[in-house]
Amino acid sequence: MPHDDISTLPTGVALTARDDHFREHPDEVYDRLRLHAPFHVDEAYGRRVLTRHDDVRAVLRHKQFGVDARKSGPGSYMRRVAGTGVSEGMGNTAYEPPLVLIDDPAHRRIRLLMSKAFTPRAVENMRPRIHAIAEALLVPLAAEPGFDFIERYAGPLPTLVIAEMMGVSTAHCADLKRWSDAILMGYDPERDSATQRRLRESYVALTAVLRETVEARRRSPREDLISAMVRAQEAEDRLSDLEIISLCTQLLVAGNVTTTDLMGNGLHALLAHPAQLQALLNEPALIEQAVEEILRYDCPLTETARFALEDTELHGCPVRKGDTLTASLAAANHDPAQFTRPHDFDITREDTAHLAFGSGVHVCLGAPLARLEGQIGLQRFLEHFPHVRPASTPPRRRQLPFFRGFECLPVMVGDRERSGAL
Ligand code: HEM
């Protein structure tokens, strides 16, 4: 550990994926913060950054901390990263915050209704479809010596799965991916006005497609999530159309890129650790453990935020009403107080209590689906392409805060005698 002085610890943009050092070596930065400033004051963004597993878990479960940015002050970090600017200048398309940005009692009510539609059975029913969708994407790739794993496989797979599960026509797949990527930029505290404009346009276009689908399912229901939500609405008159649309938007936006990143970060970690890749190829039953280790080792959603609803304290540290805390899930997942050899990638690891899906009332609703997609997606890929290896073009990580993953991850897949650059 190098000599450190709290005044030299990074703040603001230097603690985001826009910073080259942080993006490529986040563990080095997290280790310094955890050791020297576990309640790191980041004045540039007006927040404190928590990096210990215990503190991160505690703030996510603490009743005095909220997520609804509308209650936080103007100019607060919470507002900067909550994408609430989406409501401005949207004409007559109203905006409803996503589930992850609503506090109780509304959160409890909507989450309960949502859980009725998004059941473990509904997810399990998707198993054969996830296999079939993976297969349809993989078969044409066999004719190629190499390709971009993100563009051709890890990107489209979750979009096709969630679109089908919701009951949105997969003919819209390319648009859905483009719109959800643009809406994701609402979480970037550094977004400029052009990005904000694209975000708004995408939100309006996506809302129109979802509104049409809700109306179509009301006229003739099917076995899909939107029909189930419309049924819940009619039975209990408690879920508005706007709430359904907002939920579907979140399923698309938060569920898509994170699952792409689970697969991309996973393949990247396996390629960087050939012995682990070989162990998985030798024993495919390790896939469930491997996915948990990928989630811990290089977690797709690196942090989330909370602000204090009242004056309170966290593990003895006073917090004033309105203060924002960033809970670093990625740092918590590499805390040596929680994990032995935290920076080692070990798919047989037994201490797997990671926080990649969060904790407390907002714990990821889509975790069972993400796990299933990650397991089937990676396993099917390795069955098709056991000789996968990095291409000569290096991979490129995304520069967006929170959502850690690859923009492109070029791989070669033919057997080793056939080579070539991508
Ligand atoms: C590997 C993939 C995924 C990761 C790492 C992930 C991570 C997370 C995390 C950390 C949270 C909690 C955020 C907070 O407490 O502020 C969350 C919430 C949520 N996730 Fe995921 N997620 C993934 C996939 C999905 C999928 C596939 C879906 C659905 C299709 C989904 C839907 C949701 C929803 C609706 C919430 C909000 C829950 C609430 O506020 O009650 N996620 N996710």
CA of 109 relative to ligand 1 center, distance in Å: 17
Atom index in ligand 1 nearest the CA of residue 256 equals 27
Q: Could you tell me if the CB of 362 is within 6 A of ligand 1?
A: yes
User: What is the model's pLDDT at position 422?
Assistant: 46
What pLDDT was estimated at residue 92? 45
Tokens encoding 66: 């909220």
Residue 14 lies in a domain: no
Both tokens of 306, joined, read: 């909370």
Q: Is 22 among the domain residues?
A: no
Instruction: Report if residue 332 sits inside a domain.
Output: no
Q: Please, what is the angle between helix 156-166 and helix 225-236, to 10°?
A: 40
**pLDDT for residue 4:** 58
pLDDT of residue 84: 61
Number of structural domains (the chain) is 1
Residue 302 within any structural domain of the chain: no
Question: Ligand 1 center to residue 100 CA distance, Å?
Answer: 8
Q: CA 70, CA 58: separation in Å to the nearest integer?
A: 23
- C-alpha 407/C-alpha 405 separation (Å) is 7
HEC profile for 209-229?
A: HHHHHHHHHHHCCCCCHHHHH
Q: Which residues pair with 47 in a beta bridge?
A: 42
Domain holding 256, by residue range, is 72-295+353-412
Q: Are strands 410-412 and 146-148 parallel, antiparallel or unpaired?
A: antiparallel
CA distances to 84, 203, 223, 303, 316 from 370, in Å: 26, 23, 20, 18, 35
Q: Is 229 in the pocket of ligand 1 (CB under 6 A)?
A: no
Give me the pLDDT at residue 419, please. Answer: 45
**How many Å lie between the centroid of ligand 1 and the Cα of residue 186?**
16
Nearest CA owner, ligand 1 atom 34: 365
The answer to whether residue 375 is domain-embedded is yes
- Centroid of ligand 1 to alpha carbon of 386 (angstroms): 30
Flag whether 184 is in a domain: yes
Question: Is the residue at 27 inside a domain?
Answer: no
Residue appearing with tokens 């080095």: 28
**What pLDDT shows up at residue 120?**
85
Helices within 142-192 (DSSP H only): 149, 156-166, 173-184
Q: What is the C-alpha to C-alpha distance for residues 362 and 267, in angstroms, rounded to an integer?
A: 28
Please list the residues that pair with 123 across neighbouring strands: none
User: How far is ligand 1, taken at its centre, from the CA of residue 158, in Å?
Assistant: 13
Q: How far is CA 80 from CA 124, 305, 417, in A?
A: 37, 11, 51
Q: What is the DSSP string of 58-84?
A: HHHH-TTEE--GGGSPTT-HHHHHTTG
C-alpha angle with apex 405: 401 to 406, nearest 5 degrees?
120
Cα 86–154–397 angle (5° rounding)? Answer: 70
pLDDT of residue 47: 94
* Residue 126 domain-assigned (yes or no): yes
pLDDT per 10-residue tile (average), the chain, 422 residues: 67 94 96 95 94 97 91 81 60 70 90 82 91 97 96 95 89 87 86 88 91 93 89 72 88 88 98 98 98 98 94 91 95 97 96 96 95 98 97 95 95 71 44
338 lines ligand 1 (CB under 6 A): no
User: Which CATH number belongs to the domain containing residue 101 in this structure?
Assistant: 1.10.630.10
